[in-house]
Amino acid sequence: MEQKGPDPRHGEKHKRKPSKKKVKEEKRFSEGEHQLKALRGERKVGGHTMLPIRWMPPESIMYRKFTTESDVWSLGVVLWEIFTYGKQPWYQLSNNEVIECITQGRVLQRPRTCPKEVYDLMLGCWQREPHMRLNIKEIHALLLNLAKASPVYLDILG
């Protein structure tokens, strides 16, 4: 009689190796996770995860909670960047000061070149309570209405 596997009488234990498919899936998951972190701006420095705090809402800073609502907050910051011609959000503050401002409920000031309607949209993205923020469909509708409205001319030189 031919024996398959280790002989249990000799105290040998049969160790199951993961299938090649499972190893590939785990590797793919791990690689995908690293790619997501890179896309979100996360990186490791000295064993610590670095996050893009200037674009993050309070709940992401305090609890590392990332949701569609936190993406809406970040979209508001990107809109702010557009109307400041690419200034870094909270450019005058250190990272620790930014964390303090955001967690205390402060928001970025209206850029000089930003129409009130667009700043109102930004404020809708920056509601402290995530469920109070605009949703993507509302933002889309507001942007479409702004695009259809008559042009607003701003004095950007003086």
Is 54 within 8 Å of 108 (Cβ atoms)?
no
Is the pTM higher than 0.95? The answer reads no
Collapse the DSSP code of 1 into the 3-class scheme (helix H, G, I; strand E, B; otherwise coil) and give the result: coil
Is 126 within 8 Å of 72 (Cβ atoms)?
no
Q: What is the Cα–Cα distance from 66 to 63, expressed in whole angstroms?
A: 9
What are the boundaries of each domain within the chain?
20-50, 53-148
What six digits make up the tokens of 28?
């793919």
- CA of 84: how far to CAs of 58, 67, 133, in Å? 22, 26, 22
5-12 — which CB contacts under 8 Å span 24+ positions?
none
CATH architecture of 53-148: Orthogonal Bundle (1.10)
Closest by CA position to 150, among listed 117, 112, 110, 122: 117
Q: What is the mean pLDDT of the chain?
A: 82
Q: What pLDDT score was predicted for residue 104?
A: 97
Closest by CA position to 116, among listed 73, 149, 72: 149
Instruction: Report whether pLDDT(17) > 90.
Output: no
Provide the phi-psi class of 121: left if phi over 0, else alpha when psi is between -120 and 50, else beta: alpha
pLDDT tens digit string along 46-104? Answer: 567 788 999 999 999 999 999 999 999 999 999 999 999 999 999 999 999 999 999 99
30 CB-near residues (< 8 Å, 6+ apart):
none
